Structure 1
Amino acid sequence: MSHSLFRAASASLAAATLGAALTACAPLVIGGGALVGTLMATDRRTAGTQVEDEGIELRAASRLRETLPGEAHVNVTSYNRQVLLTGEVPTAEARQKAEEVVRGVENVASTVNELAVMAPTSLSQRSGDTFITGKVRASLVDARDLTATAFKVVTERNVVYLMGRVTQREATRAAEIARGVSGVHKVVRVFELVSEEELARQPAQPATVTQDPAATRPPAR
């Protein structure tokens, strides 16, 4: 896929996700609302791990819906079996419980708990976060010295979380790009770092095309 066509696809996916966010308000989101899936692109995870990550997100979201109070808003994003939790929960106990639940999900290797103890964010805030995610993704595509498909982007309350299996150079460069996007207040790196040599030895994997998270959300409570 050409650079310009991939950028257009990223922008279209961002617009579709934003549109869905404007018509639904769910307490639990699979995949963090980021651009999950790339058209005819490649992924640094094996095909099996990609499927495994999708399964982790689905199972974790289902168990959290059963466990947490209705006012919790939790995003579940898995990359290479590392799970990032973002969003808002009403109490410190709920925050700890969410992490315990996710740690108990099959195939989860580690968790990063970025849940905030506060009231759930507004629909306007979540829509703005989705828009920022789209802008960061487009900026990564524009960066000729990066492979945009190596990164997963999640935005919560104007804080951008970057995930992926990348080198130190790529991690630093991607964080710089994200910080330069308007509306971004902070960038948090949740990377799995690899050496240039290790990356060169690894063959690229075809990326699975994942359904828009909005399509799998439960009805708004």
Structure 2
Amino acid sequence: MQYLDLKSLLLVFFLLPLLSGCGLIAAGGMAAGVGTGIAMSQDRRTSGMFVEDESIEFRSGQRISEKFSSNVHVNVTSFNRNVLLTGEAPSETIKEEIGDLVSNVENVRHVTNEITVGSPSSFTSRGNDTLITSLVKGHFMDSGRFQANHVKVVTEEGIVYLLGLVKGEEAENAEELAKRVDGVKKVVKVFEYME
């Protein structure tokens, strides 16, 4: 009987690290879900619209990938069913085809096609864009002028695109703050206004 208890104890001892990893994964998943829930609760979009935007991004990306494979680098950002396309395409014709493809995705209201014609950007450039986006968001939070998560920030080749459902004063503050960040070449407002 003692032999069985020792064997069970050893089994638990060796499986514990694996089980605690599962626990961490489950806890991490729960934390991510809570984070998404908090983001949704502070968003001006309804939860249904929030989910719809995610779906539009996914379906658009999937269609672009199926048709153009790795010949293009395109980012799809949807906010309140208004879609912003950024990235690079090898020709003006393909840029326009991508815009048409996305405008035909179910529930898309409007497409702003800011894709540039050229070779795909480098990983270094994309990393720099990610840094700029983080710095812009940090400026928004530090300023306290508006709820930072009311404005979505997308950066491509140093150009900062601002999306969201905002009031006029919030749009002006967001543009001003984004322009202050080092490395920002230009700020493009793609807002939907509440007023």
Structure 1 length as normaliser, TM-score? 0.70
Structure 2 residue aligned with 1:89: 89
Shift of 1:71: 2.1
Unaligned 5+ segments in structure 2 are 1-34
Identity of aligned residues (%): 47
* Higher RCO structure (Cα 8 Å, ≥6 apart): 1
Structure 1 residue aligned with 2:76: 76
Structure 2 residue aligned with 1:182: 182
Structure 2 residue aligned with 1:119: 119
Structure 2 matches for 1:106-185, cutoff 5 A?
Answer: 106-185=106-185
What SS does the corresponding residue of 2:96 show, helix, strand or coil? helix
Contact preservation (8 Å) 1:38, 1:149: no
Q: Which amino acid aligns with 1:119?
A: S
Shift of 1:70: 2.2
Deviation track 1:78-136 (CA, whole Å, cap 9, x = no partner) reads 00000000000001110000001001101100000000001111110000000100000
Larger radius of gyration: 2
Residue 40 of structure 1: which of 13, 38, 41 is its match? Answer: 38
Q: Which amino acid aligns with 1:72?
A: V
How far, CA to CA, are the matches of 2:51 and 2:193 in structure 1? 21
Structure 2 matches for 1:191-210, cutoff 5 A?
Answer: 191-195=191-195
Check 1:95–1:126 CA distance in 2 against 1; reply closer, same or farther (3 A cut): same
Shift of 1:67: 1.3
Structure 1 residue aligned with 2:101: 101
How far, CA to CA, are the matches of 1:43 and 1:187 in structure 2? 22
Write 1 or 2 for the structure with the bigger share of helix. Answer: 2
The CA RMSD measured in Å over matched residues stands at 1.2
How far, CA to CA, are the matches of 2:62 and 2:91 in structure 1? 20
What SS does the corresponding residue of 1:164 show, helix, strand or coil? strand
Shift of 1:40: 2.4
How far, CA to CA, are the matches of 2:105 and 2:171 in structure 1? 28
Structure 1 moving runs of 4+ over 6 Å: none
Contact preservation (8 Å) 1:160, 1:188: yes
Shift of 1:147: 0.8
Shift of 1:66: 1.1
Deviation track 1:5-42 (CA, whole Å, cap 9, x = no partner) reads xxxxxxxxxxxxxxxxxxxxxxxxxxxxxxxx767241
Structure 1 residue aligned with 2:66: 66
What SS does the corresponding residue of 2:63 show, helix, strand or coil? helix
Deviation track 1:174-212 (CA, whole Å, cap 9, x = no partner) reads 0000000111010000000112xxxxxxxxxxxxxxxxx
Structure 2 length as normaliser, TM-score? 0.79
